[in-house]
Structure 1
Amino acid sequence: MDLPTVAIVGRPNVGKSTLFNRLVGKKLALVDDRPGVTRDRREGDVGFGGLAFRIIDTAGLEEADSESLLGRMRLQTEAAILEADVVLFVIDARVGVLPADRPFAEMVRRAGCPVILIANKAEGGAGMAGAYEAFSLGLGDPIPFSAEHGEGLGELHSALQEALPEADEDADGEGADKALKVAIVGRPNAGKSTLINRMIGQDRLLVGPEAGITRDSISLDWEWRGRRIRLHDTAGMRRRARIDDKLEKLAVSDGLRAVRFAEVVVVLLDATIPFEKQDLTIIDLVESEGRAVVIGLNKWDLVADQPGLLKELREDCTRLLPQVRGVAVVPLSGLAGEGIDKLMQAVVAASEVWSRRVSTSRINDWLSDALSRNPPPAVAGRRIKIRYATQVKTRPPHFALFGNQLNALPKSYTRYLVNALRESFDLPGTPIRLSLRTSENPFDK
């Protein structure tokens, strides 16, 4: 099968060749701080997290007479755009959008193929203002990126996966039916390995009454209702102050790595002693990593007055965990095999919420209503103005607000906005990120 083609285009010196080298995995393209180093189209084959495609590095786009060297270089770039299945349009986030970017953005849009907008040189959060300014190009959500340091590769992979569905075949030939990655975490002896053994229907993981049997983060493939799931069992997480053994420290860090690679994290609590301080710390860690969360109340068969306790624990959850308000709390028994189906329904639902995208028009209708119900406070006699909002990312949902004096917005008001977003767009239990940008509405002009 012919590989799909991806073309990298943009003004000179925005980092196209560095991005090309990063994706190809070799320093094939010359890179220098001087603009205009690349002249010819350079091509390479890319294997990128299961995606396979041919990539083209192009000369920087500049206005020039078609007979001149610059003009011929531009014609080569235009030919690459017409040939491409996907275009990566690169801007320099530190410089922001320049007038020269706009006609080329229009040219790419006219080509009619999917476009992924990359705001390069945004390492360590630098250049984020320029990244948000890139919304005004009308090419969709910009990906804050650093070709030099490899930041933003995960977001680029997700965008390419959507743009090149036919290329979504990994080495195992699994195709587009991607496994949902689920990590099971909790304190030692919460019953994580017992639960996974019951899920997969075999004694695959070592279990016993002793705490801390699991050391490595074990990955297992499973199928639930025709859906592929990759389960990660992890070592029990104790308070750091209580960990003396070097091996246990390594096991806990391995568990943290499993959390970072998961899409949904099931935090397993012992229903006989729920919501210990360490449980809350683990949930806080999962939220700070931006993963979707589900709480499993294991050993439910050992509990008396189950309806009353469940109501009480759900109320405790709302009070103790406002950062994941509405998180699913599922009673279960790994030993008896009860509640597993309900747990997996909650996991799939949490994954869908975590990946939800809301249109800009709906967000701004919501913003208008939220501001009229509870206007922002005044600072030094001048009212804070929030002019515009948009969703900049999913997984987890990430929203940006644009206005003036937003750095003076009280935390209580940002909490109000996050809770209003959660309620209005049905985003229970998922982490929500909110960026505040003092800027003009990019669509005003």
Structure 2
Amino acid sequence: MLPQVIIIGRPNVGKSTLFNRLVGKRLALVDDQPGVTRDRRFGDAHLLGLDFTIVDTAGWEDDEAETLPGRMRQQTEAALATADVALFVIDARAGLTPLDEEIAQWLRASPVPVILLANKAEGRAGESGLLEAYSLGLGDPVAISAEHGEGMGDLFEGLLPHLEPLQPPEEGELEEEDEEALLRGPLKLAIVGRPNAGKSTLINRYLKEDRLLTGPEAGITRDSIAIDWVWHDPKADEDREVRLIDTAGMRKKAQVTEKLERLAVQDARHAIDFAEVVVLVLDATRGLEHQDLKIASMVLEEGRALMIAINKWDVAEDASSLFNGIRDALNEGLAQVRGVPLMAISGRTGKGLDDLMAAAFSIREAWSRRVPTSALNRWFDDALSANPPPAPGGKRIKLRYITQAKTRPPGFVLFGTRLDMLPESYKRYLINGIRRELGFEAVPIRLNLRSPKNPFATKK
């Protein structure tokens, strides 16, 4: 386990910019308006030889505990409890505020070592704020510019005495991951859906803690938040690693007008790219909407294994009719992958959550499956015998053999002649047969056609 370093400060002092600087990529959303970050975000940071986990937190605000800012502050308080070092960030250009002094008083009462960072200190505009920072009683402030990368050497010197004893031992080079190792690794599971479908509540129920902000307000989640977790499989009586990824709600494109929401939706799409299995969460009180089908199609186009969970099942009306109606609509709207796993769950009561996780591991296995070439071509010969390809215009389409070129998602290459004349309906026949008879379940499958070059094609 790497040591944890938490970033704390009032809104808009540059915490997420510093987070992005330390992880070396733009993982956290950044904007000029305050209050962009709402949930804790974890990242792997590397600074001049020091390795640690950096934790970005919401801006500290002095509001009642039941309000959204108050719940955000509780997330920060929970993060400090597990931190090894706290980075307290102030805005050197704005100078000290009463809220800065309140945060400093809270941090002084904590046993966690605190490094005071005066951000935006480049140029003369930050000099007065840097001098004011001495009055907080947290030692000498470190002048930095998170945006321009200035002061990182001084930050390293401040972190070194606290983090050097906690550095993990060096390991030899890891062997190249094979497919079995990928299946033994953590399941990368993204939770997507429209706003207020209960995605964060679902994850909190799995974790058995209020790890993510929830509430009646739609669109609370903005960043895609990845959380490493261990699920105990009750049927196999074993622990299995999972990386849960919470994402922002995806509304219709025409309804997304704010810049921050556009960024959040882009972040959610990016999270899908890194997932293995994606769970699309529906709201049982609203049923299946066109936007849900658009999200599902996007997941399948990205080649990810898809599952659909009808959440809030504990308050569903006419449950049997609702379930069957959604199943029929999915079969019609997602014709490219019939039989996508559909499950009824409740993030509030915990109904169906173990079954959902077990199914996610199962579909990942199908998504990662490789069929031996001999077995694949035995199936292929049987498929051709049962239903030979057509001969449009009297011209025979000859299908020679098929091979699996890749996994995750499964990709196949079909070799033959006159493949440009092969109807789409026959391609679907082959794809459905691969899925049904070779154990690929309802995962997206790619089938590419390849014909030998005609040596006379360019001759006149």
Tell me the TM-score normalised to structure 2 length.
0.57
The change in CA–CA distance for 1:164 and 1:212 in structure 2 (over 3 A counts) is: closer
Partner of 2:417: 404
1:210 has 2:226 as partner: no
Q: In structure 2, do the counterparts of structure 1 residues 405 and 275 end up closer, same or farther at CA, with 3 Å as the change threshold?
A: same
How far apart are 1:159 and its partner, in Å? 9.6
Q: How does 1:294-443 map onto structure 2 within 5 Å?
A: 294-439=307-452
Q: Are the equivalent residues in 2 in contact too, given 1:186–1:279 (CA < 8 A)?
A: yes
Alignment match, 1:162: 178
Moved more, 250-259 or 301-310: 301-310
- Tell me which of 194, 209, 229 is aligned to 2:242: 229
Q: 1:271 aligns with which of 276, 284, 303?
A: 284
Distance 1:425 1:186 in 2: 30
* 1:216-295 to 2 correspondences below 5 Å: 216-225=223-232, 226-295=239-308
Q: Which residue identity does 1:196 align to in structure 2? A: I
Shift, 1:395, TM fit: 0.6
Runs of 4+ in structure 1 over 6 Å off: none
Question: Aligned partners of 2:330, 2:345: CA distance in 1, in Å?
Answer: 17
Aligned residue type for 1:329 = L
Indicate conservation of the 8 Å contact 1:324/1:428, yes or no. Answer: no
Contact 1:325 1:428 (C-alpha < 8 Å) held by counterparts = no
Aligned pairs (5 A) from 1:144-155: none
Is 2:206 the counterpart of 1:183? Answer: no
| TM-superposition CA deviations, 1:193-224 (whole Å, max 9, x none) | 01111110110111111111100001111111
Amino acid at match of 2:187: L
Letter in 2 for 1:160: E
Q: Secondary structure at the match of 1:416?
A: helix
In structure 2, relative to structure 1, the CA distance for the partners of 1:347 and 1:390 (3 Å cut) is same
Alpha carbons of structure 1 residues 376 and 163: separation in structure 2 relative to 1, 3 Å: closer
CA, structure 1 residues 390+164, in 2 after alignment: closer, same or farther (shift >3 Å)? closer
Q: Could you tell me which residue of structure 2 aligns to residue 14 of structure 1?
A: none
Question: Which secondary structure state, in structure 1, belongs to the residue aligned with residue 409 of structure 2?
Answer: coil
Q: Matched residues in 2 for 1:229 and 1:360: separation?
A: 31
**CA offset at residue 372 of structure 1?**
1.7
User: Judging changes above 3 Å, is the alpha-carbon distance between structure 1 residues 411 and 355 closer, same or farther for their aligned structure 2 residues?
Assistant: same
Alignment partner, residue 109 of structure 1: none
Question: CA offset at residue 417 of structure 1?
Answer: 1.0
1:412-432 Cα deviation digits (max 9, x unpaired): 111111111111112221001
Measured against aligned partners, the alpha-carbon deviations of 1:143-177 in whole angstroms (never above 9, x if no partner) come to: xxxxxxxxxxxxxxx99312997xx9xxxxxxx95
CA shift, 1:375, in A, is 1.5
Q: CA deviation at 1:290?
A: 0.5
RMSD (Å) for aligned C-alpha atoms:
2.2
Give the TM-score taking structure 1 as reference length: 0.59
Deviation track 1:44-73 (CA, whole Å, cap 9, x = no partner) reads: xxxxxxxxxxxxxxxxxxxxxxxxxxxxxx
Partner of 1:132: none
The 1-side partners of 2:363 and 2:430 are apart by 21
Letter in structure 1 aligned against 2:219:
G
| TM-aligned CA deviation for residue 409 of structure 1 | 1.1
Cα distance in 2 for residues equivalent to 1:340 and 1:286: 21
One-letter amino acid matched to 1:272 = T
SS at match of 2:281: strand
Distance 2:264 2:289 in 1: 21
**CA shift for structure 1 position 304:** 2.7
The letter for the 2-side match of 1:434 is: L
The 5 A counterparts of 1:64-213 are 160-162=176-178, 178-213=185-220
Residue deviations 1:264-298 (CA, integer Å, cap 9, x gap): 10011112222210000000000011011111110
Q: Aligned partners of 2:386, 2:180: CA distance in 1, in Å?
A: 43
Q: 2:440 and 2:175 mapped to 1: Cα distance? A: 22
Rg: which structure is higher?
A: 2
Conserved? CA contact 2:191–2:245, under 8 Å: yes
Alignment correspondent of 1:84: none
Where does residue 100 of structure 1 map in the other structure? Answer: none
User: CA distance change for structure 1 residues 177 and 348 in 2, over 3 Å: closer, same or farther?
Assistant: closer
CA 1:191/1:409 → structure 2, altered by over 3 Å: closer, same or farther?
A: same
Contact 2:293 2:330 in 1 (8 A): no
Report the 3-state secondary structure (helix = DSSP H, G, I; strand = E; otherwise coil) of the residue aligned with 2:178.
Answer: helix
Residue identity in the other structure for 2:406: K
Change (3 A) 1:164 1:316: closer
The Cα offsets for residues 327-379 of structure 1, whole Å up to 9 and x where unpaired, read as 11110011122111011011111101101111111111111111122211213
Q: Aligned residues, how many?
A: 275
- Asked if structure 2 preserves the Cα contact closer than 8 Å seen for 1:193 and 1:206, the reply is yes
